[in-house]
Structure 1
Amino acid sequence: MTESGIRACAERDASGGPVCDEAADERVALSLSVSFHVGDDFSENPGTLHVTTRRLVWFPDDETRGGYDVPFRAVAMHAVSSDASEGFRPCIYAQIEGGAPEGWRMTEDAAAKEEDGSAEDDDPDALEDTTELRLAPADPAALGALFKALCDCAALNPDPHDEMHETEDDDDDLYYDESEMATGAGAAARIEALRRFDDQLVVSADLERHVADDPGRFEDDE
């Protein structure tokens, strides 16, 4: 199951950074001054983004306000965006599984769309329960380092469903249906399946030596 998306996060450590989960070996990989934008809100939201090995954590410069965190498994995709046509600075554009955080201010247009339900009508292909997030570094030159940190840490948090499917695919190379081998598959398919199965079998050097010394050692008694 995908972890929930953008969540409220108020707890800071003594240095003002996130409180890491030591049991999960969570560590901060990168901290940057970043403006945080949810949906189509492009007003300046200065703060610090902490990229940890488990999640993204952003705290505003105003310490009286709470911040937000996003588990990496909730990040559906992320990419570098340099398109300033909509008022955003160069940033990391991401799609986050789940809705916008509770209490997040919306632009008047976004609020009107949500109220009359027209947001989904505008884009019939839009993903349900997905929120756009933009992370705009104060220094655009840091965009590459931020993107790399996101990629590296996201790789540490693979989707368990993807791993399960990969395991099932790997098993398909080793196992086959016996009845299909006997009746359904053609001769060429049977030979190929048997060849693949034989490739999985490894005979130890000790066993080969015993067989060579006594060829009848493993024959059934009549």
Structure 2
Amino acid sequence: MMGFIAPIQPPQAPVRWQKEDTIAFVEKQDLSKGTLYIAESHVAWINPSGQGFNIPYRAITVHAISRDLSSFPHECLYLMIDSDVNNSDDGFEEEEGNEVREIRLVPQDKTMLQSMFEAMSQCQALHPDPDESDNSDPYDQGDEDEEVGEEEGGEEDPEIGIELIVADGGNGDAMDTGQFDDADMGPEH
């Protein structure tokens, strides 16, 4: 966990949303209150001592509002992070064997969740997946006859306590449990 938090500066890129008194949880570990920055280039959280983290949008595979208090005791902006991304230029580093997969951002004022989500959605849209062709339909499954959103079966992810519905080419990225409102499946979807 210590490799995830480092001395950082506030973002230099345009900031679309900023809020003090936002608690960050990494893998359910409370990192205390700090300032959340949703910048056009990345998401940053910095505590009063100047320690924090930067997350590039390409590392965020899912962001959603979570209001399910049975899986986590606070309403929050939930982020699922691709733990394969390791780029020290972004300030996003992980220690060997220490995967960071979930971040929860809890504002003091819960009415801010929707505006946090919308700002993140707008900024993430600025960073489309470079692997997708501009002319390709991201929902095109080739010769398969399945419709987007059609459930072929689900599997429980014990780490986060939600059911993953296999509807995206069998990779299990789509979720359908009602745990998250307004889920956005990142730039690669």
Q: TM-score range by the shorter chain?
A: 0.5 to 0.7
Alignment match of 1:38 (pick from 1, 6, 26): 26
User: Greater share of helix residues, 1 or 2?
Assistant: 1
In structure 1, what is the Cα distance between the partners aligned to 2:130 and 2:94? 27
Percent identity of the aligned residues?
Answer: 28
Query: Residue 135 of structure 1 aligns to a residue in which SS?
Result: strand
Q: Deviations over 1:16-51 (max 9, x none)?
A: xx141xxxxx2111101311111132x361011000
Give the corresponding residue for 1:88.
73
Query: Residue 161 of structure 1 aligns to a residue in which SS?
Result: coil
Query: Residue 94 of structure 1 aligns to a residue in which SS?
Result: strand
In structure 1, what is the Cα distance between the partners aligned to 2:6 and 2:121? 22
Give the corresponding residue for 2:112.
142
Whether 2:51 is the aligned partner of 1:66: answer yes
The one-letter amino acid of 2:120's match is L
In structure 2, what is the Cα distance between the partners aligned to 1:44 and 1:74? 20
TM-score (ref. length: structure 2): 0.58
In structure 1, what is the Cα distance between the partners aligned to 2:26 and 2:4? 12
Query: Residue 160 of structure 1 aligns to a residue in which SS?
Result: coil
CA drift at 1:159: 1.1
The one-letter amino acid of 2:51's match is G
User: Greater share of strand residues, 1 or 2?
Assistant: 2
CA drift at 1:86: 3.9
Q: Unmatched 5+ residue regions in structure 2?
A: 85-91, 138-189
CA contact (8 A) 2:11 2:37 kept: no
In structure 1, what is the Cα distance between the partners aligned to 2:28 and 2:100? 13
In structure 1, what is the Cα distance between the partners aligned to 2:103 and 2:11? 22
Q: Unmatched 5+ residue regions in structure 1?
A: 1-5, 13-17, 21-25, 104-113, 116-128, 171-222
Aligned length: 126
- Where do 4+ consecutive residues of structure 1 move more than 4 Å? 6-9, 99-103
Q: Deviations over 1:40-66 (max 9, x none)?
A: 32x3610110000010010012x1x51
Give the corresponding residue for 1:193.
none
Query: Residue 32 of structure 1 aligns to a residue in which SS?
Result: strand
Q: Which protein shows a greater Rg?
A: 1
CA contact (8 A) 1:9 1:69 kept: no
Query: Residue 131 of structure 2 aligns to a residue in which SS?
Result: helix
Query: Residue 23 of structure 2 aligns to a residue in which SS?
Result: strand
CA contact (8 A) 1:7 1:70 kept: no
1:168-187 aligned at under 5 Å gives the runs 169=136
Q: Deviations over 1:72-93 (max 9, x none)?
A: 1110011100112244311011
**Residue 86 to residue 95, structure 1, CA distance change in 2 (3 Å):** same
1:1-222 aligned at under 5 Å gives the runs 8-12=5-9, 18-20=10-12, 26-33=13-20, 34-41=22-29, 43=30, 45-61=32-48, 63=49, 65-98=50-83, 102=94, 131-162=101-132, 164=133, 166-167=134-135, 169=136
In structure 2, what is the Cα distance between the partners aligned to 1:44 and 1:139? 18
In structure 2, what is the Cα distance between the partners aligned to 1:68 and 1:101? 9
CA contact (8 A) 2:60 2:81 kept: yes
